[in-house]
Structure 1
Amino acid sequence: MFDVRETSLKGCLRILPRVRADERGVFIKTFHIEAFQKLGLPTSFAEEYFSVSQKNVLRGLHFQMPPMDHEKMVCCAQGEVMDAVVDLRRSSPTYGAYALFHLKSSEGTMLYIPKGMAHGFYTLSDTALMLYQVTSVYDPDCDAGIRWDSAGIPWEVGAPILSARDQKFAALADFVSPFV
């Protein structure tokens, strides 16, 4: 049902669903409780939301601090994005490292992002619809991020469209991680 692949960041997984395509388009199952349980993935999500972004928008790099840190499942439901995950777990051999993923709605690829990792993406298509499921409720006091251009990610963009919030985040080098 799902082809699950490890990434260069321990615990961060690429999940490739079966894509059924015909003359009408595609049909993709993004969740199956028994399959997720068998894979050790979360099956209970506290919140689910989506964002719509125009071309050249960069969102990130976001995460929630403890005690409201969360596991996250993301996928691109329309369009395509360059997705990035950065390991912020101090004891991890890949602390500070990033992994990049090209997510396209036609492929349905999902990412499982464990606690202690920052997430962001850059919109490649005219618009992109991103879906998120998280295992804890959003808490503005625990909302955090690191600056998009401070982790060495080759975004291949000079001047992305950023929110005021994302522009104010500290650089990775200045971030004191609470994640073990």
Structure 2
Amino acid sequence: MEIKQHALAGVVEFLPRIFGDARGIFFESFSARLYEQAGVHHDWVQDNQSSSARGVLRGLHFQRPPYAQAKLVRVAQGRALDIIVDLRRDSATYGQHVTVELDAERCNVLYVPIGFAHGFMALEDNTLFLYKCSEYYQPSAEGGLRWNDPALGLNWGVDSPNVSDKDQVLPLLAEFESPF
């Protein structure tokens, strides 16, 4: 498995070795030993899955402490533009982001550390998105940032994505006090 460290401290992308033949493909999507060697160690407690049509944007979301979640995210079908934003107050990269295209062909996995907001845009119909979480979902701990905040400078690649009403009214970075 290839391990790629991104520009923001703690953000890691895993690119598995894919074995294919006439029957299809096989790859190892998770190995605690390899992930720990890359500095990613959590007791993963919950798996989530979503299916989205092309143009659906979900995010930017996080959970506040003590329910803060690290995530391993990947696409099992289709493609997604994944963006994470550093919300760690003492980080030299606070407010900066990383953009990664996740796709079912490369089978890449992105590690989203605690202290980051996370969102993605489905680039194909029926994009199947998988999340492995380090903490159980807690509705009262939900938080997020507005997907189109000009201060963040995010390029989702479309002008009018399909965004939930809830995500349309999340705060801007300038009016946000980070819990991290």
The TM-score with structure 1 as length reference comes to 0.94
Aligned to 1:4: 3
- Of 23-32 and 145-154, more deviation after overlay is shown by 23-32
What are the Cα deviations for residues 135-164 of structure 1, in whole angstroms up to 9, with x where unaligned? Answer: 111111111110101121111211100111
What are the Cα deviations for residues 160-179 of structure 1, in whole angstroms up to 9, with x where unaligned? Answer: 00111111211122111111
Aligned to 1:172: 173
- 2:81 pairs with 1:82: yes
- Of 89-98 and 29-38, more deviation after overlay is shown by 29-38
Task: State whether residues 15 and 111 of structure 1, in contact with CA within 8 Å, keep that contact through their aligned partners in structure 2.
Answer: yes
Aligned to 1:155: 156
Aligned to 2:101: 102
* Aligned-partner SS, 2:146: coil
Aligned to 1:69: 68
Identity of aligned residues (%): 39
Aligned to 1:32: 31
What are the Cα deviations for residues 108-138 of structure 1, in whole angstroms up to 9, with x where unaligned? Answer: 1100111100110111112211110111111
- Of 50-59 and 19-28, more deviation after overlay is shown by 19-28
Aligned to 1:131: 130
Residue identity in the other structure for 1:156: G
* Aligned-partner SS, 1:154: coil
Residue identity in the other structure for 2:167: D
Structure 1 position 26, deviation (Å): 2.2
For 2:178 and 2:148, locate their aligned partners in 1 and report how far apart those are by CA, in whole Å.
Answer: 18
For 2:59 and 2:179, locate their aligned partners in 1 and report how far apart those are by CA, in whole Å.
Answer: 18
Aligned to 1:53: 52
Aligned alpha-carbon RMSD (Å):
1.2
Aligned to 2:16: 17
For 2:141 and 2:154, locate their aligned partners in 1 and report how far apart those are by CA, in whole Å.
Answer: 24
Structure 1 position 89, deviation (Å): 0.6
- Unaligned runs of 5+ residues in structure 1 are none
- Unaligned runs of 5+ residues in structure 2 are none
For 1:62 and 1:23, locate their aligned partners in 2 and report how far apart those are by CA, in whole Å.
Answer: 40
* Aligned-partner SS, 1:119: strand
Q: How many residues align?
A: 178
CA separation of 1:18 and 1:43: change in aligned 2, threshold 3 A: farther
Task: State whether residues 58 and 162 of structure 1, in contact with CA within 8 Å, keep that contact through their aligned partners in structure 2.
Answer: yes
Residue identity in the other structure for 1:139: Q
The TM-score with structure 2 as length reference comes to 0.94
